[in-house]
Structure 1
Amino acid sequence: MKKTSILLFLLLVAAGVSAQKMTVQEGDFKFLKDAKAVNVVFRYDDMKLLKENKTEQQYKEERTAELNAKNAGTGDTWAKKWDGAKESIWEPNFMDLLAKTVTAKKGTVFGQGRKDAPYTLTVDATWLYPGWDAGVMKQPAKVSTLLTFTETGNPSKVLLKIKSENAPGDQWGSNFSNESRIGEGFEKTAKTLGNRIVKEAY
């Protein structure tokens, strides 16, 4: 019995491990040192999902059909929840962690719709893995993004480009919501980004 418990614990730990990578592809953080505000834009145009690299439309259609086949109407309800998750979970989670890691420590304010800000951060969601939770066993979500800082008045002027891969979306206890797990991945992305900004820009 004891060996079984240890095995289950090790499996749970292994399932929760996700190697996040954040690599600077172009530029550096120095321009942010004197920035008072940064505009933030989110994009999902080229987002792929799962190991099969499905388009968002493919994923939604298949998931909706799967859930409706099990219980009529649940798939349609889920599709609405999925569409609303971007503005109700993913983006607020990301913004909240930037506020906690950068604004609270250095005063630079990150906000959506801040066209008055000299710089703009574009968060391109490139790949998502929703993960799963079966109670005893679970697999965290994974979120990959391309984070690009440009001049707001001259979007072609790239100041910093970062590739963030496999930010884990996991929580203590059970979490049966794909959308919520993905939101944790966006939160982890912002936390790692924010900590690097504080460390490397100031």
Structure 2
Amino acid sequence: MEFLNNTEKVNVVFTFEKPLYNGDNLTEKEFLDYITKKIVTNANEAMAKEFVQNLEKAKYDDWPKEFAETINEWSSEYKNAPTFVVDDTTALYTMKVNTTWMYFGYDAEIIDRPSKATMDIEFYKTTNPDEIIERTSISRAMGTYNKTHGDGETWPKPNLNRMRKAYDRAGYKFAKAIKRIVD
């Protein structure tokens, strides 16, 4: 990833190509069907519809911003670190982050589990997305858990803020990984 030394900014795009969900590796359709049914049964249809809308916003807006902001925060003191910017096609290089697995975690009073996410990362010149320069992955980035900071249960729906923290952790892990390359 030496090319990161010679660039000022990197475009960050997020995709969710065939992600799997939770410990039983549900496809996205299976997961949404299961969650929608659970929310409708235990609450109402409006809440289920709202969750699906909020999930889409989180996937393509909130989580990518969290990921990029965390990388920038942790790498800001590195000598040659580029700035990572979501959806900036003017950047010479693009970092494609494809989430392949998500686990939302839970809080059952007696026991709680943080969120986790796995993602594959590819770098390419923005003008040539078919020619991959570098590939890496972040496996099971585990979000921090703090019930008083919005991580408590939002039953019957998964907690999107808790999942955001997995992307925060993934950004941290990535920033630490590039330290020896750009510093």
Please name the residue that 2:177 is paired with.
196
Please name the residue that 2:75 is paired with.
102
Question: C-alpha separation between the residues in 2 aligned to 1:148 and 1:157?
Answer: 10
Question: C-alpha separation between the residues in 1 aligned to 2:49 and 2:131?
Answer: 42
- Offset, 1:157: 2.5
Say whether the 8 Å CA contact 2:13–2:64 is kept in structure 1.
no
- Offset, 1:89: 2.6
Question: C-alpha separation between the residues in 2 aligned to 1:194 and 1:123?
Answer: 14
Matched, 1:172 2:153: no
Say whether the 8 Å CA contact 1:89–1:179 is kept in structure 2.
no
Say whether the 8 Å CA contact 1:142–1:182 is kept in structure 2.
yes
Please name the residue that 1:117 is paired with.
91
Paired AA for residue 110 in structure 1: F
- Offset, 1:104: 5.0
Paired AA for residue 137 in structure 1: I
The alignment's TM-score, normalised by the length of structure 1, stands at: 0.79
Matched, 1:37 2:9: yes
Paired AA for residue 32 in structure 2: K
**SS of match in other structure, 1:33:** helix
Deviations 1:146-199 (A, max 9, x none): 011111122233222112111002322351252111111111111111122122
- The percent of aligned pairs where both chains have the same amino acid is 22
Question: C-alpha separation between the residues in 1 aligned to 2:169 and 2:7?
Answer: 23
- Give the unaligned 5+ runs of structure 1: 1-28
Deviations 1:109-148 (A, max 9, x none): 1112322211110000001111111233101111000011
Matched, 1:155 2:151: no
Please name the residue that 1:141 is paired with.
115
- Aligned residue pairs, count: 174
